Amino acid sequence: MKAKVVEVFESIQGEGLYLGEKQIFVRFFDCNLNCSFCDTRPDRFMEYDPQELFKEIKLYRNKYHSISFTGGEPLLYKDFLKEMLGLTAKHGHKHYLETNGTLVNELEALIEYIDFVAMDLKLPSSTGMDALWEKHRDFLKVARRKEVFLKAIICQATKEEDLKQALELIKTVSPGSVLILQPNSNEHPSLLREKLSGFKKICAQGGVTACVIPQIHRIIGIK
């Protein structure tokens, strides 16, 4: 059993609620979506079996908040992850899943091993793709069994109606979850400042806790 892994490295979490936490990152190759704003399109990878990857993770001997499984989309490697997470859990690691929030059956198979879920909400006016509301709804119903927060990329093209639909989804499925409004790093911050401020007010009026957090790792120049 092999998985395509782009890189394994140590750094701090650069986005979301766990901003600044030290983590080991395992970045998987490939994704089942094609978002217009995607900033992770690697063209090479290494193949690991679970034991090989576990041995590499054990080389990092400092104390870490968790292992971040990111991508791409980690859940494309469900069977690999099931064996991998069993190994790392026995070694005392916590597991942080960064996911596009669409592969519900794969999450269901792994949720007992996951500690934290950083779930994307793919707003169609941001991604340039068809709406994924029902997939997100089903995914969040499983993810809420563990600690979960949500992230939506905000672009100049993002429509208010998409944000409001996202808020309704959160309120009906997981009302305690925080929504991160993340400005698109490919657009100049000044072009998004007013929109982000307005969106944050809409979230407050809609009864959903929201924070505006950019990709800090890109701003300060770390991996």
Range of the domain at 180: 3-220
CATH assignment of the domain containing 177: 3.20.20.70
pLDDT at 4 exceeding the cut of 80: yes
Q: Give residue 189's pLDDT band: very low, low, confident or very high (50, 70, 90).
A: confident
Distance separating alpha carbons of residues 185 and 103, to the nearest angstrom = 25
pLDDT tens digits along 104-152: 999 999 999 999 999 999 999 999 999 999 999 999 999 999 999 999 9
CA distance 80 to 185: 31
In this predicted structure, the answer to whether residue 62 has a pLDDT above a threshold of 90 is no
Give the confidence band of 1 by pLDDT, cuts at 50, 70, 90. confident
C-alpha 216 chain-centroid distance: 15
What angle separates helix 160-173 from helix 189-205, to the nearest 10 degrees?
40
> 95-99 and 66-70: which strand pairing?
parallel
pLDDT band, residue 220 (cuts 50/70/90): confident
pLDDT at 37: 86
For the chain, helix, strand, coil in percent to 5 are 40, 25, 40
State whether the Cα torsion 100-27-23-186 is positive or negative. Answer: negative
Mode of pairing for the β-strands spanning 116-120 and 147-154 = parallel
Q: Which amino acid is it at 110?
A: L
pLDDT at position 84, please? 96
The whole-number pLDDT of residue 191 equals 86
Mean local confidence (pLDDT), 86-110: 97
**Cα–Cα distance for residue pair 192/171, rounded to 1 Å:** 25
pLDDT at 199 over 90: yes
3 state SS for 93-153: CCEEEEECCCCHHHHHHHHHHCCEEEEECCCHHHHCCCCCHHHHHHHHHHHCCCEEEEEEE
Q: Structurally, how many domains does the chain consist of?
A: 1
Answer yes or no: is pLDDT of 39 > 80: no
Write down the pTM of the prediction: 0.95
As beta bridge partners, residue 179 has 150, 210
Q: Is pLDDT above 80 for 178?
A: yes
Region of 177 (left: φ > 0; alpha: ψ -120 to 50; beta: rest) is beta
Query: Chain-centre distance of CA 71, in angstroms?
Result: 9
Helices 133-143 and 160-173: crossing angle in degrees, nearest 10, is: 30
Percent residues over pLDDT 70 in the chain: 100
Residue 50 pLDDT exceeds 90 = yes
pLDDT at 42: 82
